[in-house]
Structure 1
């Protein structure tokens, strides 16, 4: 199935209702490939719902959707493998585990799906990953702190448009880095700012940038009965 355009969505972080509004109002599933660049989980109220929906969308024969791994998915994978990673607990992991304990989708099932997610997507003109190709990063090692899941340094200009997330833009606006020809579209959904999607053609031409302000329900305190 070949789509005319590509619609890339930034870090969702458990903000299910915000994610749904962005897709329902701005993604044309009939002629756009959807790419979500990682960090589906943690910090928001609905990590299991985001995962469940994303898995269903990935498996829907009527659409074309690619979900990439983010560093939060790998923190969860490490926990599933027995690494009691306090860094994950401090960054939303405790609440995420609680959410999965009350969900129809189990944490183990989610972690196994995370482990199957690719680290990047590319064509001749576009490269999408969670944190981007840095000057000294390893493209294939998900545990390299300078690699494409963790990098927060300067990006290389690789001769393609890079689209990344990972580092939230505190003004809630996507940022273009001219020297590296890269967009960061993590606009702080979990910071009660916005979730961003960027629409591009297959040759890397930016066609549109859209945003949905974070929905209150995705972050406000909820009863455990919800």
Structure 2
């Protein structure tokens, strides 16, 4: 959103930044504007997902909404998703925004975005939700994956000193 706001401010992704933490992000650059260009390059080059041998990691996941729109053989080569997801970034069902049921990709999907009290495994769709609302004061969580299975869950409670008080635009 930050990248789009600066480079394509009329894009829906750029506009959404005004309601998703822009002020805290900008404030974090006070006295550090020398690194902003480096950060933009990092954001521009960052992938939207990691398709690893034993799991698929993304922000919000691949929604079941797209099942009929994907090529029938997408599970054989999940890299086919690359162009598909980039063309739909500002769609409410996208890899950045969806909160719907996720598609079984044929391997474990690890996602954040949809906050849960504890790490949650959706066995039917082979999805692990790891956003346990650290930002909201709950805890930071991660999973250890081996051979397409979660073998450990790690969680650390949020330290209240690390939570910034938020202000939102009117």
Tell me if TM exceeds 0.5.
yes
TM normalised by structure 2 equals 0.75
Q: Is 1:94–2:23 an aligned residue pair?
A: yes
Q: After the TM superposition, which segments of 4 or more aligned residues of structure 1 sit over 3 Å from their partners?
A: none
Work out which structure has the larger RCO, using CA pairs closer than 8 Å and 6 or more positions apart in sequence. 1
- Distance across 2 between alignment mates of 1:126 and 1:95: 32
Give the aligned CA root-mean-square deviation in angstroms: 1.9
Which one of the candidate residues 106, 115, 118 is aligned to 2:44?
A: 115
Q: Is 1:215–2:141 an aligned residue pair?
A: no
Tell me which residue corresponds to 2:110: 163
Tell me which residue corresponds to 1:145: 92
Does the C-alpha gap of structure 1 residues 104 and 76 become closer, same or farther in structure 2, counting only changes over 3 Å? closer
Q: Unaligned stretches of 5+ in structure 1?
A: 1-74, 222-226
Does the C-alpha gap of structure 1 residues 124 and 220 become closer, same or farther in structure 2, counting only changes over 3 Å? closer
Which segment is superposed worse, 121-130 or 104-113? Answer: 104-113
- Distance across 2 between alignment mates of 1:105 and 1:192: 31
Alpha-carbon shift at residue 104 of structure 1 (Å): 6.2
Q: Unaligned stretches of 5+ in structure 2?
A: 67-83, 166-170
Larger Rg: 1 or 2?
A: 2
Q: Is 1:80–2:6 an aligned residue pair?
A: yes
TM normalised by structure 1 equals 0.58
- Distance across 2 between alignment mates of 1:88 and 1:104: 19
Does the C-alpha gap of structure 1 residues 145 and 105 become closer, same or farther in structure 2, counting only changes over 3 Å? farther
Paired positions, count: 144
